[in-house]
Structure 1
Amino acid sequence: MLVIALLATGAVLSAAYSGLWLWRQVPVTELSRVDALQQVRVKGPFKAVSQRQVEEILLPYLQRGFLTVDIAAMQEALLGHPWITEADVRRRWPRGVEVAVKEASPLAVWGKDKLLVASGDLLPRPEGLETGQLPELAGDEELVERILSQYQALAGLLTTRDMEVKRLTFDDLAGWHLELVSGVELYLGHDELLERVNRFLTLSRGVLAPHLEKVARVDTRYSNALAVQWRTKQEME
């Protein structure tokens, strides 16, 4: 018989380290009382990985005794989950196992059903995971490294309030399209992205400064000029 209970920790645990589960296993007749595995503690952020997923990974291994449970196999099984980047599994005397896992860190939303993580990989978007203020990136998946690189360069440039990157996309025909947190959209073409964005920033601090709230879209694909499209009355409301 296996009883699973979620420990109530309330506000004591931070958002980045919010899960702690305890498994209690009643000793079975095949195992001696000395060897019977009685508890397994699992610690981790548990944002992208659900309690049920962790249970499904670990439960097949918990029928063994304290001395015979396959620690290496448990660790390998946990690392098989796409969102788990590190797994540390240890016996915990006298009759327990302690598991600590780390999850991948999401950097951006990619399309409708994927997230881009710090390693540069695209992972399936976990159901119910809050993406908060993560930027959105989109384009051909074969160009993910290039798109990530351009995003990181732009994020280092656009650091002031309302000028941060909200969405960055790339299309072979239209080139780069950038949307700022303020709602302003920039058409950047295919090359010289930082130079074109810097040109916009210079104007936004100068002649455009009093009118930024009225700016809807800016086309920077000209050699020495910008084309500004103003918001309509409906967009201003």
Structure 2
Amino acid sequence: MGLRRLLVVLIATALVVAVSYGGLWLWRQVPVNELSRVDALQQVRVKGPFQAVSQRQVEEILLPFLRRGFLTVDIRGMQEALLRHPWITEASVSRRWPRGVEVAVSEASPLAVWGDDKLLVASGALLPRPEGLETGQLPELAGDEEMVERILLQYQALAGLLTTRDMEVRRLTFDDLAGWHLELVSGVELYLGHDELLERVNRFLTLSRGVLAPHLEKVARVDTRYSNALAVQWRDLEKTQ
């Protein structure tokens, strides 16, 4: 029983710590006379992954609403305001008796880097790149923004085909003149032309498991735009065979 009571005390203490930041933040931002009402808000808990959206950004969105009392705070307005942030996909706001509000947000999932200042998310939308968000493991996609849906579909098809570590997609771009250009995690570049991408990549994969297998570390570029052949440029020899 002694151990159980100790655990209960520790859990209760942890809960107090979890809500204290919201309470302190609210008291510092709102004039004391506005908090003197019987139904004044005293605790605000904000939960979320806080990767693309910071906790401070969420608090700034909520602040205009928190000058209302517990009973009169605009729950729907808070939720709608949060959902106007481009990176917030879901938001729930609820009262917590006796004088608290609990907020939880979900963020869009970044799928790829797009150019210097945008990220492509799973929904297919291009969103502004949040400052400080780590994107080192994400592939890079590029092309005309009007083609974002097509480029995403091609990336998803290639990602399903290229599943081993060195063969994963690092960068996929499309240019009207040159067509598709693919760079693998291993550093190998493939020129794929304008059509039959999966067939051309499959042709390269077949050779990479066969005659090219002992020499893959030396391969710099592969041009697959020939009907029945591949042109290989070596890293060290710098010549095409």
TM interval, short-chain normalised: 0.7 to 0.9
Aligned partner of 2:145 in structure 1 is 141
Gaps of at least 5 residues in structure 2 are 1-13, 15-19
Q: TM-score, normalised by structure 1?
A: 0.87
Output aligned runs, 1:192-211, within 5 Å: 192-211=196-215
Aligned partner of 1:38 in structure 2 is 42
Higher strand share: 1
Deviates more, 1:59-68 or 1:21-30: 21-30
SS at match of 2:192: strand
For the residues of structure 1 that align with 2:227 and 2:59, how far apart are their CA atoms? 58
| Of 111, 115, 119, the match for 2:115 | 111
For the residues of structure 2 that align with 1:165 and 1:30, how far apart are their CA atoms? 56
* Greater Rg over alpha carbons, structure: 2
Aligned partner of 2:82 in structure 1 is 78
Residue 29 of structure 1: how far off its partner (Å): 3.1
Aligned partner of 1:6 in structure 2 is none
Higher helix share: 2
Aligned partner of 2:7 in structure 1 is none
Task: Determine if contact 1:135/1:167 at 8 Å carries over to the other structure.
Answer: yes
- Identity, % of aligned pairs? 88
Aligned partner of 1:183 in structure 2 is 187
SS at match of 2:132: coil
Q: TM-score, normalised by structure 2?
A: 0.86
> Once the two structures are superposed, what CA deviation does each residue of 1:167-186 show, in whole Å capped at 9, x if it has no partner?
00000000000000000000
User: Residue 114 of structure 1 aligns to which amino acid in structure 2?
Assistant: K
For the residues of structure 2 that align with 1:90 and 1:157, how far apart are their CA atoms? 45
How many residues are paired up? 216
Aligned partner of 1:5 in structure 2 is none
Task: Determine if contact 2:166/2:184 at 8 Å carries over to the other structure.
Answer: yes
Which aligned segments of 4 or more residues in structure 1 are displaced greater than 4 angstroms? Answer: 30-33
After superposition, the CA RMSD in angstroms is: 1.8
Task: Determine if contact 1:28/1:36 at 8 Å carries over to the other structure.
Answer: no
For the residues of structure 1 that align with 2:79 and 2:122, how far apart are their CA atoms? 22
